[in-house]
């Protein structure tokens, strides 16, 4: 993403007026630049209406009482969270076109994915012209071979952003990207965003009938909402290997671009104790003379030390406390090597590193723990990698980590 100063300069070059006083945000500048390119576009296909999808908040942001209320209240329904790439489908006179939630670095317009999804964009759904839907683009298999094995989310993103010919060739041979629809923003020209979800679902049900009657269920599917026993449903999703669920307020409108509490994601999370085994520098933190992130490790079932990822989400005061300058560069103080922290992660990726890894607390004082208790059994994940034909990553130590300073477990 461009720096604020670069965006300001870009606005000046294009004659876009800036406020004379007060602060200006990156988001405001990006919106202004996108609007400029919308108005000045002269290509064959005009850019699509710029609709940012609504985003879900993490249920952990809420208090324990609010979390319990959302899970038990009749006001919320839930559906399984699909791990894919967000896509907004526009049914227009020229056919179906799809945008993502990411922006082009040159025009700041939402990236269009249409050319990489010919099987979706050639569907005959003209009777629903003027409609806009929100959903997730994804591949069904856990691991996909793109020259080397990669997980489905990474493969989906790669296929949506490579050349159209390459994307089509792969999908013809290995299976198509599917579209999982869970909301409707506009139906046959009627704007629905102010309607509560319960009413929007009636329009979505009508569209589902049209899709199924034409036999398009192979490529387009619809979210199944659960209205009761949501905690039990979450448990079943996790047991079957799913990522989690999204709770949705049936009385809430659609909020484009907002991370609203009317959608709450409830994800699988694991908690464990890990050891600080090193650090990484970061450009922005370098300027402030502070370390960027710390590397966390655990001992596996064989007693080998493995990195489970890097974390930068810890308080500023702790970052200051952990940093010393070595030859003018920020470095991790040696006494913090071997510090035990409690952390959470969603699951392990193909490199046996934690996805969405976060530090919860530092194990200090009465809360302290020995590094010998920082263990994780990777055997199930290793077995899954072996079945998929993916090489298991080597254990530590590696030269860039200060494992020599660790106390004995």
Strand partners, 87: 135
Asked if residue 252 has pLDDT above 50, the reply is: yes
Asked if residue 380 has pLDDT above 90, the reply is: no
- Looking at residue 135, its pLDDT comes to 98
Quote the mean pLDDT of the chain. 89
Nearest Cα to Cα of residue 81 among 184, 183, 182: 182
Asked if residue 398 has pLDDT above 50, the reply is: no
* Helix extents (H) in 14-129: 26-40, 64-72, 118-121
CB 339 within 8 A of CB 275: yes
Asked if residue 134 has pLDDT above 50, the reply is: yes
CB 126 within 8 A of CB 176: no
Q: What percent of the chain has a predicted confidence (pLDDT) above 70? A: 96
pLDDT in tens, 159-217: 999 999 999 999 998 889 999 999 999 999 999 999 999 999 999 999 999 999 999 99
The band of 286, judged by pLDDT with boundaries at 50, 70 and 90, is: confident
CB 14 within 8 A of CB 39: no
How far is the CA of 96 from the CAs of 112, 117, 135, 136, in angstroms? 11, 10, 14, 15
Q: What tokens does 333 get?
A: 């103080």
- Cis peptide, bond prior to residue 6, ω within 30 of zero: no
The three-state secondary structure class of 402 is: coil
The band of 126, judged by pLDDT with boundaries at 50, 70 and 90, is: very high
Position with higher pLDDT, 232 vs 391: 232
The band of 407, judged by pLDDT with boundaries at 50, 70 and 90, is: low
Q: What tokens does 158 get?
A: 């790669």
pLDDT in tens, 319-374: 899 999 988 889 999 889 999 999 988 878 878 888 889 898 898 888 888 888 89
All residues at 6 or more sequence positions from 87 whose CB lies less than 8 Å from its CB, including other chains: 98, 99, 100, 113, 135, 136, 137, 179
DSSP assignment of 68-100 equals HHHHH-TTEEEEEPP-SEEEEEEEETTEEEEEE
Q: What dihedral do alpha carbons 25, 31, 35, 36 form, nearest 10°?
A: 40
Kindly report the number of other CB atoms within 10 A of residue 1's CB atom.
Answer: 9
Backbone angles phi, psi at 143, to 5 degrees: -125, 140
CB 74 within 8 A of CB 249: no
CB 353 within 8 A of CB 280: no
The band of 41, judged by pLDDT with boundaries at 50, 70 and 90, is: confident
Give the start-end residues of each E strand in 122-162: 131-138, 143-145, 149-151
Q: What tokens does 316 get?
A: 């500023």
Q: What tokens does 345 get?
A: 């992660």
- Looking at residue 401, its pLDDT comes to 47
Mean pLDDT of 229-243: 90
- Looking at residue 288, its pLDDT comes to 82
Q: What tokens does 76 get?
A: 């919320």
Asked if residue 5 has pLDDT above 90, the reply is: no
Asked if residue 409 has pLDDT above 60, the reply is: no
- Looking at residue 123, its pLDDT comes to 96
Among 28-42, 51-65, 107-121, 378-392, the range scoring the smallest mean pLDDT is: 378-392
Radius of gyration of the chain (CA): 24
Strand partners, 345: 270
Q: Which residue has the tokens 């370390």?
A: 291
- Looking at residue 400, its pLDDT comes to 45
All residues at 6 or more sequence positions from 264 whose CB lies less than 8 Å from its CB, including other chains: 56, 57, 58, 59, 62, 70, 76, 246, 247, 248
Backbone angles phi, psi at 33, to 5 degrees: -70, -40
- Looking at residue 406, its pLDDT comes to 55
Among 56-70, 85-99, 283-297, the range scoring the smallest mean pLDDT is: 283-297
Asked if residue 256 has pLDDT above 80, the reply is: yes
Q: Which domains does the chain have, with CATH numbers?
A: 1-40 (no CATH), 41-267 (3.30.470.30), 270-405 (2.40.50.140)
CB 276 within 8 A of CB 290: no
Q: How far apart are CA 23 and CA 335, in angstroms?
A: 41
Q: Which helix (H) or strand (E) holds 239?
A: helix 230-239
All residues at 6 or more sequence positions from 205 whose CB lies less than 8 Å from its CB, including other chains: none
pLDDT in tens, 66-122: 999 999 999 999 999 998 999 999 999 999 999 999 999 889 999 999 999 999 999
Mean pLDDT of 38-42: 84
């Amino acid at each position: 993403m461009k720096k604020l100063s670069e965006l300001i300069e870009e606005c000046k070059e294009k004659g876009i007026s800036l406020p004379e006083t007060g602060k200006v945000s990156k988001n405001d500048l990006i919106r202004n630049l996108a609007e400029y390119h919308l108005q000045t576009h002269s290509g064959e296909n005009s850019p699509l209406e710029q609709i940012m999808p609504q985003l879900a908040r993490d249920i952990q942001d809420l208090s324990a009482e609010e979390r319990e209320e959302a899970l038990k209240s009749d006001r919320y329904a839930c559906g399984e969270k699909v791990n894919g790439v967000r896509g907004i489908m526009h049914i227009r006179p020229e056919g179906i076109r799809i945008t993502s939630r990411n922006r082009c670095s040159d025009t700041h317009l939402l990236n269009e994915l249409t050319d990489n999804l010919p099987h979706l964009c050639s569907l005959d759904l003209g009777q629903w012209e003027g409609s806009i839907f929100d959903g997730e683009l994804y591949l069904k298999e856990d691991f996909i071979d793109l020259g080397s094995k990669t997980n489905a989310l990474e493969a989906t993103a790669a296929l949506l952003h490579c050349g159209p010919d390459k994307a089509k060739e792969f999908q013809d041979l290995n299976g198509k990207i599917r579209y999982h629809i869970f909301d409707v923003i506009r139906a046959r020209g009627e704007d629905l965003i102010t309607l509560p979800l319960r009413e929007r679902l009636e329009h979505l049900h009508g569209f589902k009938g049209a899709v199924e009657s034409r036999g398009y269920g192979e490529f387009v599917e619809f979210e199944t909402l659960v209205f009761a026993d949501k905690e039990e449903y979450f448990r079943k999703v996790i047991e079957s290997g799913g990522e989690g669920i999204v709770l949705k307020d049936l009385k809430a409108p659609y909020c484009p671009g907002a991370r609203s509490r009317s959608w709450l994601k409830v994800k699988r999370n694991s908690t464990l104790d890990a050891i600080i085994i090193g650090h990484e520098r970061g450009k922005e933190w370098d300027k402030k003379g502070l370390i960027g992130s710390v590397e966390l490790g655990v001992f596996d079932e064989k007693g080998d030390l493995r990195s489970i990822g890097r974390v930068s989400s810890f308080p500023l005061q702790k970052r200051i406390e952990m940093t010393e300058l070595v030859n003018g560069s920020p470095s991790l103080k040696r006494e913090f090597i071997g510090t035990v922290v409690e952390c959470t992660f969603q699951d392990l990726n193909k490199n046996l590193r934690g996805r969405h890894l976060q530090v919860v607390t530092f194990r200090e004082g009465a809360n302290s723990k020995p590094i010998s208790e920082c263990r994780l059994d990777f055997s199930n994940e290793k077995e899954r990698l072996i079945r998929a034909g993916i090489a298991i990553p080597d254990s530590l130590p590696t030269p860039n980590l200060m494992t020599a300073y660790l106390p004995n477990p």
